Structures are given as structure tokens and as C-alpha cells.
């Protein structure tokens, strides 16, 4: 019987809630058969719906077919829905230019998530255990990894993938199967050192156990748990730093404030960058080389210098901020020009914004100090007002200053990054800019003691 109470692990890590629909990955081997049996025993208590997915990788001929038949029969005995997949992993390996191990993993999770979506399930249970945790730590250590990698496998990933057997040894799993007369299938390829993980399992761990420490597996498992606690502690502070440093956040762009960022420890800096990339949709293929290069660019602090990153991302150094953007952003804000009609709401579809206008007699009204509402002298206008993107020749007289300057020079003085300038909406009268929305109004058109009629403009995002 198992030494570890799986129900306790489920409760401790909040892996299941009442009413969950769980997709269970079952290969037919001891680990996954044990997992299915354990979940079946708590099915009534947690009011679970269980669905079983089996993937035939088409690598082992009749043996693989026999595995599939075994899992099908097991589901029939338990009265559980069975969803078999046959995926040519060898062909997939060639198509993806990857290893059979990685292709097989992708095939499995693609199938799990497909059934999850189709059946409107909310959890995926997989049978990784204490030995898998130890093997993963050694494999990542050999390849080179930081704290994130060495902290190993999580009990739950993104609130969906759960691993109830992660604290259970393979020896206990096999004992459980024997005690419950489950008679799982044995994949003979797992007994051959033909894959990296197999070599670690069959050669490295036995060597370490014999020559260094008999308890190498539980000790490695314990090490991964300790490292995970440290990782969680660091990420707690990294998340606080991220909220402090990151000022502008959209689906396509995040700005990091330089001064706040440069005050951080290097370990927190890297995690702030990783969190930024994650929020922009990228969580993989960002390695130490990328992070070190990004840190060096930020340290050099040369304005407008940048570098491209995987998945169409780019980092660029601005005057006060570090800009990390998805290049797709260029396609979401196009040039536009709309005439402002008095008393009407003008939709700016490119920015998903609205600008409204109103003309009133000047009765000494208090001038609004709200950033998105501005007042102008109607009688100083010499033509219709437009809301548009910038054009060559645009000029501006910043409020409180005499004389005018090119809009480009104003942007430079205000340290507005080049990549932002075409995205800023302008209220204009001809080539004269009345209002750089989000920044300043034109001194020439301000309301003063002589103003008879007032134009009120409001910009709403």
C-alpha cells in the first residue's frame, strides 16, 4: 500500500473541487492506472466526472494496440467514457524537428486539451510521481538550469493540469497496483536506455544510489520542494516589483520604468522581464542568453537601441522607459483623420475611442483640470477641427510658452519615444495642433478674459 495519502495531497494543494470534470491521461502503465483508480475511489466524495484519454503513439506495434485494449476494458469495468487517440509520433518528430520524447509529450497534451475543450471539462490529471520529479531535476541539472527549472514539476499548472501522485514513489505505486489487483501493462521501452529520461532512470539514479546515497530519489524530490519554496518567495517580490515598474500595459505592449527597474537585484530584474514577456503571451524559448542580452541593453541605456526576441517581440530603450512590444502592435493603430462636428460623438475606431464636443457661451465657468477634458476659445479657430495622427509640418505652441515649434521638436523635448508618436491622437486646425491628447494644449487657443465662446472637448477611451 502507499505510504502517502493521495487524498491528503489533493486537499493540501487544492487539486480538486466538488463537481470537477477531470480528463485522466491513462497509458495503461502502473502510474496512470494507479492514478485512475485513486480518482475513481474519491469520485463520489468529490462528485467528479471522469473521462479517460489514451494515446497510442504508434511506436510499439501490437504491444501499443494491447495497451489501448487494456485501457478500454478498464474503462468499461469502471463505466467511464474512453477517448482513444492514434498519433504517429515518429512522423510528428520529423515534422517538428524534435525528439520522440518531446513529440510524444506534445501529442499527449494536445489530445488532453482537445477532449477538455470538447467535453467542457476543467482539469487534466497526469500520473507524474516522486521518481519523475527526481529524474526531471537531474535531467535539467545536466542540461543547465536555474532555480525555476530545478524546482521541478508543480502539483498544479495554470489551475488545469494536476499531479496527485507527485509525492508518491514508483515503488509505492507498484505496491498499490498489486494490492488492488490492477495488473497494469508494462511498456518494455521504459526498460531500455534509449531516451534521456530512461538513461537517467535506469543508469544514473541506480549508480548514485549504489555509490553515494540509497535515498537519492526521495532526497532529490525533497530538494525540488525546497527550491520551489525559494522560487515562490522570489516570485512574490518579483510580482511586487513588476507592479511597481510597469506603467503602461496593453495586450501588445508593456513599458518598464527605468529608474525603478535599475534599483532591483539582478535576480528580480530577470523575473520582471519574464513576467512581462508572459503577459505579452510568451512563456517559452526565452533562455539565459536572451535575458542576459536584454539586461545588457538596459544597462548600456542607449536610447532607441533594441533587440528582437522570439515570437515577434522586441525590447527597445526609450528616454524614461524600457519598451517591450509585440510587433503586431504596428498593425493595430493606423493613420486616421476625422472631422469634429459640434455636439456629436466622433468614433475613432483605430483607437477604440470617442471624442465629443460642445460650444458654450463664456459665463466665467471654471476651467476643467481633468486630463481628458480641455477648453478652447472658439473664436480663435480659423477652420474646422480634426482629430488625426501627426503630419509633416505640424506645429505647436505649448501652453505657458511663447512662440511655436515643430511637433517633432516637442516630442523630442518631452522624450516621447519615436514608436509612440504616430499613435498619439491630435486635435488640429489645419497644421496647427490645438491639443496633443494626453500631453498638452496649445497656448494660442486657450481660454482667457476675452473669450466669448468656449469649445469643450472630451476624449474617452
Q: What percentage of the chain reaches a pLDDT higher than 90?
A: 57
pLDDT at 4 over 70: no
Identify which of 156-165, 401-410, 426-435 has the greatest average pLDDT. 156-165
pLDDT at 333 over 60: no
Predicted pLDDT of residue 54: 97
pLDDT at 18 over 80: yes
Measure CA 11 to chain center.
Answer: 27
Strand ranges across the sheet with 156-157: 82-86, 49-56, 21-25, 123-125, 161-162, 156-157
Q: What percentage of the chain reaches a pLDDT higher than 70?
A: 97
Query: Which of the 8 DSSP states describes residue 390?
Result: -
User: From residue 45, how far is each of 7, 39, 42, 82, 151 by CA, in Å?
Assistant: 11, 10, 5, 22, 32
The three grid cell numbers given for residue 207, joined into one nine-digit string: 549508480
pLDDT at 191 over 70: no
Predicted pLDDT of residue 250: 75
* Stretch 389-398: mean pLDDT: 86
For residue 119, give the nearest of 12, 21, 1 by alpha carbon: 21
pLDDT at 21 over 70: yes
Query: Which of the 8 DSSP states describes residue 442?
Result: B
Do 83 and 115 meet the contact criterion of CB atoms below 8 Å apart?
Answer: yes
Residue pLDDT, tens place only, 101-132: 889 999 999 999 999 999 999 999 999 999 99
pLDDT at 79 over 60: yes
Domains of the chain: 6-227 (3.40.50.620), 250-330 (3.30.465.60), 337-460 (3.50.40.10)
Mean pLDDT of the residues in the chain: 89
Predicted pLDDT of residue 204: 95
CB atoms within 10 A of CB 238: 22
Measured between alpha carbons, how far is 342 from 432 in angstroms, rounded to an integer? Answer: 19
Predicted pLDDT of residue 3: 44
Give Cβ neighbours of residue 55 (< 8 Å, ≥ 6 apart): 25, 27, 84, 85, 86, 87, 104, 107, 108, 111
CB atoms within 10 A of CB 224: 20
Amino acid at each position: 500500500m502507499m505510504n502517502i495519502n493521495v487524498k491528503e495531497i489533493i486537499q493540501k494543494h487544492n487539486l480538486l473541487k466538488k463537481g470537477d470534470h477531470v480528463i485522466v491521461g491513462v497509458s495503461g502503465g502502473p502510474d496512470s492506472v494507479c492514478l485512475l483508480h485513486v480518482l475513481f475511489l474519491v469520485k463520489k466524495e468529490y462528485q467528479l466526472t471522469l473521462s479517460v484519454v489514451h494515446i497510442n503513439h504508434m511506436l510499439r506495434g501490437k504491444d501499443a494496440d494491447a495497451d489501448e485494449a487494456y485501457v478500454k476494458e478498464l474503462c468499461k469495468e469502471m463505466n467511464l467514457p474512453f477517448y482513444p487517440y492514434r498519433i504517429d509520433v515518429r512522423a510528428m518528430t520529423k515534422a517538428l524537428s524534435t525528439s520522440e520524447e518531446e513529440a510524444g509529450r506534445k501529442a499527449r497534451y494536445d489530445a488532453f486539451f482537445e477532449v477538455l475543450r470538447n467535453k467542457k471539462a476543467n482539469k487534466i490529471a497526469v500520473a507524474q510521481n516522486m521518481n519523475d520529479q527526481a529524474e526531471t531535476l537531474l535531467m535539467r541539472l545536466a542540461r543547465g538550469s536555474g532555480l525555476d527549472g530545478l524546482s521541478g514539476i508543480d502539483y498544479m499548472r495554470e489551475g488545469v493540469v494536476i499531479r496527485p501522485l507527485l509525492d508518491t514513489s514508483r515503488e509505492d505505486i507498484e505496491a498499490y497496483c498489486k494490492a488492488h489487483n490492477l495488473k497494469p501493462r508494462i511498456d518494455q521501452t521504459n526498460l531500455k536506455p534509449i531516451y534521456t529520461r530512461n538513461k537517467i532512470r535506469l543508469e544514473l539514479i541506480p549508480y548514485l544510489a549504489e555509490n553515494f546515497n540509497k535515498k537519492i530519489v526521495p532526497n532529490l524530490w525533497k530538494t525540488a520542494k525546497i527550491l520551489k519554496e525559494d522560487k515562490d518567495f522570489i516570485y512574490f517580490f518579483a510580482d511586487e516589483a513588476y507592479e511597481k515598474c510597469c506603467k503602461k500595459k496593453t495586450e501588445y505592449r508593456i513599458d518598464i520604468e527605468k529608474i525603478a527597474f535599475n534599483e532591483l537585484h539582478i535576480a528580480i530584474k530577470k523575473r520582471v522581464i519574464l513576467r512581462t514577456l508572459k503577459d505579452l503571451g510568451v512563456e517559452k524559448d526565452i533562455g539565459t542568453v536572451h535575458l542576459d542580452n536584454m539586461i545588457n541593453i538596459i544597462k548600456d541605456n542607449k536610447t532607441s537601441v533594441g533587440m528582437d526576441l522570439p515570437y515577434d517581440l522586441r525590447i527597445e530603450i526609450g528616454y524614461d522607459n524600457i519598451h517591450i512590444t509585440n510587433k503586431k502592435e504596428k498593425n493595430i493603430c493606423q493613420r486616421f483623420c476625422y472631422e469634429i462636428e459640434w455636439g456629436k460623438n466622433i468614433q475613432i475606431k483605430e483607437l477604440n475611442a470617442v471624442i465629443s464636443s460642445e460650444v458654450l457661451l463664456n459665463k466665467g465657468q471654471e476651467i476643467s483640470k481633468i486630463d481628458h477634458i480641455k477648453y478652447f476659445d472658439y473664436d480663435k479657430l480659423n477652420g474646422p477641427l480634426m482629430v488625426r495622427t501627426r503630419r509633416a509640418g505640424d506645429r505647436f505652441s505649448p501652453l505657458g510658452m511663447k512662440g511655436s515649434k515643430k511637433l517633432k521638436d516637442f516630442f523630442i523635448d518631452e522624450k516621447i519615444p519615436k514608436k509612440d508618436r504616430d499613435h498619439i491622437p491630435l486635435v488640429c486646425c489645419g497644421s496647427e495642433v490645438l491639443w496633443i491628447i494626453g500631453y498638452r494644449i496649445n497656448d494660442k487657443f486657450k481660454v482667457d478674459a476675452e473669450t466669448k465662446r468656449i469649445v469643450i472637448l472630451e476624449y474617452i477611451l
